[in-house]
Each structure stands twice: as structure tokens, then as C-alpha cells.
Chains A and B, each alone.
Chain A
């Protein structure tokens, strides 16, 4: 049916809708207008109707059916799309009644009077629409219609319900062979248990294609009882059907495998197939054994390997690799000695993958083979075992002449170590990392090993870590490793070595946290150490003051004590008061010294603080000073910093680059007190912020 176009613009339609929106008549009219627009010639009006009609009620459906049954492609497609959207709308829970109404209408397109193409359109829409329990007879009847039977079959398959399956199987006896194959394939997709018997009846069909399809349709059941039949069909299949028959047979075996419960039958079937001339079948059997085989399958698979080339050989070796269980490793080891050299070499990787102690003697022996390629393969396999007992053979290879083997051994040792660490075996991993460190051929390997030692420290790693600790390039990794090992030594009661380790770390220097650990460790071991100095904090001071600042801060620029020279025995007069140097030691963990407590209350005043430290060698450093209020600083008689501002103390607020000379260094600070608090603290670090360890002159 072709409908004349109204030619209403969007605005007109909207206006019409607005005016008439309050009456059902108006609604019906609006729906009709849209339907007319959908079937009209005006593209814009049709497009708008296409968008708006899906929002209408299901009452629009009978009005759309004539459009969908028409010949104008633009029109029937538009109607089809509107219906498709409507079907989506009513497909949600709670709208079952509407869904049924729409189904009733669409089913009318399947009557014999309708053309094949109309039926086809309806069949495309129905599968997602038909509610459960709806009579499928109109669709099932179309299975007899040669023009649309395939679409009807597809619709029933897509429906996938028990009723759909019943319709499919009911037509099986009536269908010709070609369509039987299609129906069986459909039932295969539906997986309906009630259809099994109907499908199996066709296993005896005179048509080979049907027989194969019948088996394929029930292969999903994974019923091992069908294996013999499927096998017989494969044997009887001609060249045309052979691939399909093989596919069905292998699919049946696989589904039987996944359904479970019949391992023995399956494995015996797979083993039997190893003798097949059919390469693909043999490979399928090997893959199956790789998935589920146990130790009893090893010898038969090895026998296959001897008689085949790649790719079958590679598949067989992979099967041996993927078979699980201790008995697989044991069977491989037992069979290994009588295998030819090439096969032995091929199996080394398989043996390593078993990660079982039983394979170690074979791999160890292979690692000392006269053939370099075998030695390399054995080393990789030893590493793959990830067993601590593989280390000995890897260590031996670590001393090999060939650089390639030494590298493989080093890599293998680290691989074992990492695996042990992942497995939560820190002691074994620590030992492996220590071994790896001993064999590290370059800094990268050593760094990796040191990181491992740090994570899994053991006392036995002490010597090997000490050996590399002095290498500047390894210092960032050596310090934490040695710190961790020192802790392990302490825990093991090896005090002397622990102390050596701590002293080494102290001399190497490290982060604040490291130095805290060192300090604590050494203190726990009874060492006489200056913890603060280890952390770069200056705690020992001589102070003198308060001196009056004077008008216009005059004293700030006067050498009140003859600075930068210092005489700790000197005495000074501040007004009528006599001032002496006082020795004080900060007990604060930041090294903070409260001058108000030491020197007494003061405002607008000056004090001096003096200290001496020793370092073993010339050291670029940074004085990190916090002062309330501010300061002038001399190091070894040279003024290095000056600041004159009223402020509170913030740790490290002034950072002064200096160079400490080897031996004794003197530091003098002139400290200004404005009002309220009067305090300071000093620590010394390297330019990159690590504490500088030093010895302080003792404040007696």
C-alpha cells in the first residue's frame, strides 16, 4: 500500500500534537498522521515518524504491518525498524501482555497468503519477541515451506526454547537430507536434552551427511557412549565428509572431557588414536593427552615422538610439558636414558618445567654434557625447575669457560632465587641471592642480587655482600642489603660480623632511616657510638651569651668574642655580667638546643655557639640549620652564611653548602634573639641529603 504524503513539516506535526494532545481522538489522529508520514514520500516527515512512532502504544502495530508488507524498500524498512524498536520496548519485564499482542499481530504475517519476503521479515523480528509458552505452530509450519524454511529454522534456533527445539525435532523425520542436516545443526546449538533421542535416530540415516550431523548435534552432551559410533563414522567417511566427521569426533571427545567423570575412557581413546595414520587425529589426541594425561601416558607419547616430524613432534613435546602430576615427571625420568640424543635434548625443557626433584639428576648430568647446546638447554631447564637443589649445578656452570654458559648460569640462579622469593621461602631465596651475587658478572646482575638479599637476608650473605659493598656503583643497593644482613646476623647471634656490617654501613653512609637502623643495631650490640653524629645531627656545643644587641642592632656587626677566632677559655663582659663558655649537649632527637634554658631569659640579644667535628676525608656537605631567630655562620674560620630576620625555628630552614676538610672542622654560629623563643639546631648532610657521619668533640 502506498500512502500519499501529507508533507507536514516537523513544526506542523509538533503543533498538531500540542493542540490535540488532550484527547484520545487526538492521540489516535497523531499516531495515524505519523503512520501516514512513515509511508509517505516526504523523507523528512518519514524520518521524524520513524523516530516518534516507537514511543506510541502497541496499537500502532497493526497500522504498521501493511507498510512492512509493502514493496517500497524505504517504507518497509522504516516500518520494520519502528517495529523492531517497539519490540525492544515491550521486551522488558512487566509488559508481557503487550508483548503477546505484538506477537499476535506479527504472526499474521506468516499466513500462507503472505509472500515469502514478508514472512521472512516477520521471522527476523519474532525470535526476540515471542514470549515463553506461545504456540510456535505458525513458525513450525514454515519448516515445510521451501522458500522460507531456512529462515524459520533460524528463528526457532534463535528462540532456543524447549518448544522451539520440539518444533525442530518434530520436523526431522519429514525433512529431506539437506534440511535434516540444517535442523540437526540447529538442535546442536539449542542443546535440548529432550531432542537427543530424535537426533540419535538419524545416526543410522542412509545419508552420510545426516549421520555426521546427527552426531554433531549431540556431541555437546559429552557422552562417551557415542565415541565408538563417531569413530566408525569417521572411518567410513569419504573424502568430502572426512574433515567434518573428524571434527565431530574430536568435538565429542573434547566435550566428554569437559563434562568430566570419564577420564579413563577418554585417555584410552586418545592413546588408541596415537596409532592413527590420520595426522590431524593423532595431533588432536596428543593435545587431549596434554590436557588431561597423567604418568601412564608418557611412554606412549614418547613412542609417537620417535616416529613423527614437526608439527606433530612439537605438539607431542608440548603435550608432555602440559601433562600434570608427579608421575609424569617420574615417567619421563625413567624413560629418558633410552631415548636418542636429539629427543633427550628436546625433553630437557619439558623436564625443567615439571619443577620436581626427580628431574635434577638428569638435568645436572646434561649440564656437563660434551655438547654445548645440550649444556645450555640443561642450564635453562635447571633454572626452570626453580628448585634450591638446582643451584649447585648452576653454580658449577657459573665457573664455565664459555661466557654464554656463565651468563645462562647467572640468569638461572637469579631465576631460582626470584621463584623462591615468590613462593614465600625467604631463607632459600636469600641463599640463592647470595649465590647470585657471588656470580654476578656485571653491576646490573649484582644490583638485582643485592636487592634480593635485602628482601631475603640471611647471615651467610655477609661475606659476599661485604665484598661488593665498597664498589661505589653498587652502594645504593649494597647499603640496604648489608643493613638487612646485619639484622639477620644479630638475630643469629653473630655479633662480631653484625658489628662489622654496621660499621661498614656507617662508613658508606646511607639514608636517615638506614643510619637509625645502624645506630640501633650497634647500640644493641653494645658499641660505643654517637647515635646523633651517625645521623649527622650536631648535639655537642659550647655556647656563650647573652650579649646585648644594642641600639640599631649594633652588636650584630661587632666581633663580640673576636670571631671568627674562638677561645673557649675566654671570658666576656656583657654590661656588668661576666660570661663564660658553657658546654651543652642537646638531648633532643633533632639536636635542638633551647638557649633560653641554657643562657636564661633574653630579648634583643646575641649568643655564640661553637662545635668541633671530625670526618675521615674531605667531604662536600650541607649545613642544615634551624634558628629562632637567625644566624651568621663560620666554618673553619670562613664566614659561610648570614641571615638577619625575626622568625621562628623550622628544622633545615637554612641550607648552607660547605666543604668539610679531612680531620677537625670548627663551626661557629652567631645567633640573634629578637623576642620570645631562642633556639637552634644543626645537622650535616651530603649535597643529596644523606647524613654525614662524623665524630663530635665531646662536651665534658
Chain B
């Protein structure tokens, strides 16, 4: 593998800048967050850990559940909204390291009462869970990074397409899958493949019953979750973007194919000087038609034992720009005053102003960054 040291380019002053209004959500320190209309009152609410915060002010909170707490970890490493039981209200899919169980929490139809938690599967310690349409049926499946395996869980729906509260379990690769998980079409066959730290797993035509093929092409290390699959340099080949979840570094791996069709990967450095890039999201938050890479530091990912854990926290989006990766910083500084990205951040237009906002959870606090659009428009 070839490693190219490119480094991060800081955006020039002439580029339009998004203005953000930062709001601390409650006084909580959960590492996960999402947003949806919990009670169907027309306002998007924010869900984080043990509470949901009523929109649009997010000042009133309602308890969802009591979470197991271990040191400064809460046993809750994802918050994904999905109507699991088909009652028209979005429920939550979650899971944690200590509980070793993928779970869903049943939305009590928006009532401000605790939610009932249901086990989906004892899949092993859950680093976090991601949600992708693995089988291409238009619905996402839940894929926990857990137990050293790649297994996806498909919500069983009735004839009307409504969730039944039950899931089917599908094994992709059992064993030898460590910290890090991605999904996307690596080989351009139109089917999403899985990425694990030691290689990629090619999807069969029948992704439910077919055999998945492992390609041990690389060693990514303690990689982020997710590992986005994206054609960074617009050469028609899918590349990988990899954060180091528990170390310094943010990289992209360029996919190359030789004349014989042999695949190779070239590692490029996006940022060598910041650590604990645990969660990476691709989304177009400046509405330029191109996705940006939204990420930041997971503060105290392993307490203070990870390299760089005492460095400032930060929340950024990177303009990808064909691989130049220009970093735009929203927050950077001590954890007491600044935000990182947590383990499960959320990007969506929460206030309905047409610009996608960011909810950045974490042990330093849960923050909503309201995207107010380009500052030039205000001036």
C-alpha cells in the first residue's frame, strides 16, 4: 500500500461560510443523538440517551428510560428512529457495550412516559450500530459493530409494509471483524458491500441467502464507524474514508484498478494531528450539491487513554473537493466550552429553515448547531 501525505488544507477566506447558532441541549452528556417528531406534534424533537427533548425549543425533556452507567459511559451507543411495531410512531433502535444486546425502545405514542425496551438479539458488545439498506429493498437494516462479526437485522414487515416488532438475523461474516464498519458499493456492481478493518466483504446477488465474499485488502486499524464509501476523487471508483476512532488520524483510501482489473488501495492523509474520529457522516450541509464530511472528536472515547485524548475537542465539516479535504471548523477548544462529535451524531434540517443542522452529542455535552445558511446572506 502506498501512503500519500497530503495534509489538511484550511479553507480560504473567500469561500462562503455557513453561520451556526449553537445551543446546548439540557445538561446531559450522552454520546448519541437523533431527531424526529416523537409525539407527532409537527415539531422535530431531539432524542439523546435517556431523554427526548421537546422541539422546537428543546428546553423540556421527557425520560425515555434509565441507562446503565459505567464510569462516564452510558450503555447506549446509537439512537436510530424506526417504526418497529408499525403503530405510526417512530421507535428507537439502540444497543450498548455492556448490555451486549441490540434493542429497540417502543415509543409510547408520544406520551411523556418511559418507553418499553425490547431485545432484538444478544449480538455481543455493541460499539455502535449503523443503518443501511443492505438488501436494496428500500428499507434500512440494523448493523451493529459487535462481537467481532458482521450481522444485519432486518425488520419483518407485514403485507402493508408495516413493522411487526420482529427482526430476522442475517450473518455476513462471523469472526475477525474488529473496531470499524462501513457499507457501500465498493466494486460498482450496484450492491452495497461491507467494510471491516481488515478488508471488504463483497455482496452476493442474493444478499439474504447468498454467500458474502471477504477480500482482505487492507489494514485500517481501529477504524471509525461508519467507514463511508465515497468516490472521493471522482474517478468512478468508490474510495473509503476512515477515521481513527481511538488514535490520531483521518484518512482516505483511494481505490485503484490496474489494466488487469486488480484492485489496490492508496492511503491519503486528511488529518494526522487530531484524534478520535469515531463517527463520520457524509451529507450536503452547504447545499452546493456535493456532500461534505461531517465529523469531530469523540471526547474521552476510551476515557483519557487514547492518544490525543487530552487535546482539544472539535467539530468540523470537510469540503472533499476531489480529495483536497478542506476543513471548516465549527468548534475547537477545551471540552468545557467546545463540542466534539460523540459516537453517534445526527445531521438533519431540524428547525425547518432549509439548511441541515448538526446534533453533536458527547461526554462534553449535547449540542445543536443550527445551520443558518451562509453568513454572507445576512450581511
Do A and B bind? yes
Indicate which residue in A228, A272, A292 contacts B332 across the interface (CB closer than 8 Å). A292
Does residue A325 face the partner (Cβ distance < 8 Å to B)? yes
Minimum distance in angstroms from B146 CB to a CB of chain A: 32
Tell me the bound Cα distance from A264 to B314 in angstroms: 12
Given A265-B19, A325-B274, A326-B273, A225 contacting B330 (CB threshold 8 A): no
A204-259 with Cβ < 8 A to chain B: 223-225, 228-229, 258-259
Q: B375: which A residues are within 8 A, CB to CB?
A: 224-225, 265
Q: Judge whether A327 is part of the interface by a CB distance below 8 angstroms.
A: yes
Q: Kindly state whether residue A436 has any CB partner on chain B within 8 Å.
A: no
CB <8 Å contact, A264 and B11 = yes
C-alpha spacing A224/B337, complex, angstroms: 18
Provide the residues of chain B in CB contact with A260, threshold 8 Å.
22, 330-331, 337-339, 367
Contact between A327 and B369, CB atoms less than 8 A apart:
no
Q: State the CA gap A697–B250 with chains docked (Å).
A: 75
Contact with A along B329-373 (1 / 0, CB 8 A): 111111001110000000000000000000000000001010000
For B339, the chain A residues whose CB sits under 8 A away are 260
Q: Is B311 engaged at the interface, CB distance under 8 Å to the other chain? A: yes
In the complex, whether B248 has a CB less than 8 A from a CB of chain A is yes
- The answer to whether B330 and A264 have CB atoms under 8 Å apart is yes
> Given the known A-B contacts A325-B311, A326-B248, are A261 and B331 also in contact in the complex, defined by CB atoms under 8 Å?
yes
Q: What per-residue 1/0 map shows which CB atoms of A259-295 lie under 8 Å from chain B?
A: 1111111011001100000000000000000011011
A296 on the interface (CB 8 Å rule)? Answer: yes
A499 → B minimal CB distance (Å): 38
- Kindly state whether residue A427 has any CB partner on chain B within 8 Å: no
Q: Closest chain A residue to B371 by CB distance?
A: A261
Instruction: Kindly state whether residue B379 has any CB partner on chain A within 8 Å.
Output: yes
The answer to whether B20 and A325 touch across the interface, beta carbons within 8 angstroms, is no
> Does B171 make an interface contact (CB < 8 A)?
no
| Docked-complex contact A261 and B330, CB < 8 angstroms | yes
A259 contacts across to B, CB distance below 8 A: 21-22
Whether A327 and B273, one on each chain, are in contact in the complex, defined by CB atoms closer than 8 angstroms, is: yes
| B22, B328, B332: the one within 8 Å of A294 (CB) | B332
B residues 1-43 in Cβ contact with A at 8 Å: 10-11, 13, 17, 19-22
Chain A residues, Cβ within 8 Å of B330: 260-264
User: In the complex, which of the residues A223, A296, A326 contacts B10, with contact meaning CB atoms closer than 8 Å?
Assistant: A296
A299-355 CB contacts (< 8 Å) to partner B: 324-327, 330
Docked-complex contact B21 and A261, CB < 8 angstroms: yes
Contact B13 A263 (CB under 8 A): no
| A324 pairs with B312, CB closer than 8 A | yes
User: Known contacts A261-B369, A325-B274, A326-B311: does B13 contact A292 (CB below 8 Å)?
Assistant: no
Cα A463 to Cα B110 in complex, Å, equals 73
B334 to chain A: which residues have CB within 8 Å? 324
CB atoms of B19 and A267 under 8 A apart: no
The answer on a CB contact under 8 Å between A324 and B311 is yes
In the complex the two chains form, what is the Cα distance from A296 to B273 in whole Å? 12
Most interface-central of B13, B273, B311, B337 (chain A CB within 10 A)? B273
Query: Are A262 and B13 closer than 8 Å at their CB atoms?
Result: no
CB <8 Å contact, A264 and B379: no
| Cβ < 8 Å to A, chain B residues 263-287 | 273-274
CB distance from A299 to the nearest CB of B (A): 11
Q: CA A272 – CA B13 in complex, angstroms?
A: 9
Selected from B10, B22, B248, B308, the residue in CB contact (under 8 A) with A261 is: B22
User: What bracket does the count of chain A residues touching chain B fall in?
Assistant: 20 to 34
Nearest chain B CB to A200's CB is how many angstroms away? 11
Could you tell me if A262 and B273 are in contact, using CB atoms closer than 8 angstroms?
no
Complex: chain B residue closest to A296, CB-CB: B10
> For A327, what are the chain B residues with a Cβ–Cβ distance below 8 Å?
273-274
* Residues A261 and B20 in contact in the complex (CB < 8 Å), given A225-B375, A228-B379: yes
Q: Is B111 an interface residue (CB 8 A)?
A: no
Return B250 CB to nearest CB of chain A, in Å: 12
Please name all residues of chain B whose beta carbon is closer than 8 Å to the beta carbon of A228 when the two chains form the complex.
379
Indicate whether B71 reaches chain A with its CB closer than 8 angstroms. Answer: no
CA of A258 to CA of B379, assembled, Å: 21
B274 contacts A267, C-beta separation under 8 Å:
no
User: CA A259 – CA B19 in complex, angstroms?
Assistant: 12
State which residues 440-465 of A face B: CB under 8 Å: none
A225 contacts B19, CB within 8 Å?
yes
B378 on the A face (CB < 8 A): yes
Given contacts A225-B379, A228-B379, A229-B379, are A325 and B22 in contact (CB under 8 A)?
Answer: no
A552–B10 Cα distance when bound, in Å, is: 106
A426 to B259, CA, bound (A): 56
- Complex Cα gap A267–B369 (Å): 18
A340 to B: closest C-beta gap in Å:
26
> Which residues of the other chain, A, contact B331 by a CB distance below 8 angstroms?
260-261, 263
Chain B residues lying within 8 Å of A258, measured Cβ to Cβ, are 337
Known contacts A224-B375, A225-B375, A327-B274; is-contact A264 B17 (Cβ 8 Å): yes
CA distance A261 to B317 in the complex (A): 12
- Contact assessment for B11 and A325 in the assembled complex, using a CB-CB cutoff below 8 Å: no
- A263 CA / B330 CA spacing, docked (Å): 5
Residues of A within 8 A of B312 (CB): 294, 324-325
- Contact indicator B332/A268 (Cβ below 8 Å): no
Q: How far is the CB of A226 from chain B (nearest CB, A)?
A: 8
B362 → chain A closest CB, angstroms:
13
Q: How far is the CA of A324 from the CA of B308 in the complex (A)?
A: 11
Per the bound structure, the CA–CA distance linking A258 and B378 in Å amounts to: 20
B273 touches A325 (CB 8 A): yes
User: Chain A residues near B308 (CB, 8 Å)?
Assistant: 326
Q: How far is the CA of A237 from the CA of B329 in the complex (A)?
A: 32
B273 in complex: contacting residue of A223, A268, A292, A330, CB < 8 Å: A330
Query: How far is B360's CA from A432's CA once the two chains are assembled, in angstroms?
Result: 42
Chain B residues, CB < 8 A from A261: 20-22, 330-331, 367, 369
Residue of A nearest to B21 (CB): A261
Tell me, in angstroms, the Cα distance from A294 to B271 when the chains sit together: 13
In chain A, positions 35-85 with a C-beta closer than 8 Å to chain B are: none
Q: With both chains docked as a complex, state the minimum distance between the C-beta of B33 and any C-beta of chain A, in angstroms.
A: 16
Question: In the complex, A164→B117 CA distance in Å?
Answer: 48
On whether the beta carbons of B329 and A326 are closer than 8 Å, the reply is no
> Of B20, B274, B379, which one neighbours A326 at CB under 8 angstroms?
B274
Q: Which residues of B contact A268 (CB under 8 A)?
A: 13, 17
Residues of B within 8 A of A262 (CB): 17, 19-20, 330
Chain A residues lying within 8 Å of B338, measured Cβ to Cβ, are 260
The complex places the Cα of A327 from the Cα of B375 at a distance, in Å, of: 28
Q: Chain B residues with Cβ under 8 A from A330's Cβ?
A: 273
Interface-central residue, A229, A291, A296, by most chain B CB under 10 Å: A296
CB-CB under 8 A from A225, the residues of chain B are 19, 375, 378-379
Chain B neighbourhood of A265, CB < 8 A: 17, 19, 375
Of the candidates B21, B22, B328, B378, the one whose C-beta lies within 8 Å of that of A264 is B328
Q: State how many angstroms separate the Cβ of B328 from the closest Cβ of chain A.
A: 5
Q: A204 CB to closest chain B CB, in angstroms?
A: 14
Chain A minimum-CB-distance residue to B11: A264
Q: Which B residues lie within 8 Å of A263 (CB)? A: 329-333
A693 to B196, CA, bound (A): 67
User: Which residues of B are at the interface with A, using a C-beta cutoff of 8 A?
Assistant: 10-11, 13, 17, 19-22, 248, 273-274, 308, 311-312, 328-334, 337-339, 367, 369, 375, 378-379
28 A-B contact pairs sorted by A residue (CB < 8 Å):
A223-B19, A225-B378, A228-B379, A258-B337, A259-B21, A260-B367, A261-B22, A261-B369, A262-B17, A263-B329, A263-B330, A264-B329, A264-B330, A267-B329, A268-B13, A268-B17, A271-B13, A291-B333, A292-B333, A294-B312, A294-B332, A295-B273, A324-B333, A325-B273, A325-B311, A326-B273, A326-B311, A327-B274
18 more A-B residue pairs beyond the given contacts A223-B378, A326-B311, with a C-beta to C-beta distance below 8 A: A225-B19, A225-B375, A259-B21, A260-B330, A261-B21, A261-B330, A264-B330, A265-B19, A265-B375, A267-B329, A268-B13, A271-B13, A291-B333, A324-B333, A325-B312, A326-B273, A326-B274, A326-B308
The 8 A-B residue pairs with the shortest CB-CB distance, nearest first, are: A261-B22, A225-B378, A261-B20, A327-B273, A260-B22, A263-B329, A326-B273, A296-B10
